[in-house]
Amino acid sequence: MGSLVNLNDRGRVRSVSLEGDTVTVDGKSIHVETLGDGRVRVTDASGSHVAWATGEGKRVFVTLDGRDYVFDAGSRGARRSQTHESASGDVAMPMPGLVISVSVKDGDRVHKGQPLVVVEAMKMEHTLRAPRDGVVRRLTAGPDKRFEGGAILLEVES
């Protein structure tokens, strides 16, 4: 058997092993095929999906089916990026990239799901949305500014 790690998936620990181009998660096999330009095809019992992946240091950023994930080899954990369903109200860069546009300013009242910032990462545009109803605070994002993955762009305060 290849390397074995345990990943934290929203509070649930999953056993993950890697053997060649097959990843096994909790006993279920997933075939992974590299397509180039950061794209990979993942195939499991439910079908085939194309994901985008890029690495930075010990972190790997993956976009699959419109959701962003961050895998941190240092902690051997995985988490959904804070750009989606953040309990803290922080809106963070899903991966290293460039801010294209910002549609809010400090003090603006926003509603959950409202588009706030558009970023470009891995040759794709990502719209970052408000994680909850509230007021925009600590806005650091601006057009043409580069940020590392995980950098907080703004906070939505209740």
CA 104, distance to chain mean position in Å, is 22
- CB contact at 8 A, 59 and 73: yes
Q: What is the pLDDT of residue 76?
A: 42
The contacts of residue 74 (CB under 8 Å, 6+ apart) are 58, 59
Nearest Cα neighbor of 96 from 116, 137, 68 is: 68
**Residue-level pLDDT, tens digit, the chain, 158 residues:** 455 565 555 555 666 677 778 878 778 888 888 888 778 888 888 889 888 777 766 667 777 776 767 665 544 444 444 333 345 788 888 888 899 999 999 999 999 889 999 998 877 788 888 888 999 999 999 999 999 888 899 999 98
Give the chain's domains with CATH numbers.
Answer: 3-80 (no CATH), 90-157 (2.40.50.100)
Q: What is the pLDDT of residue 44?
A: 84
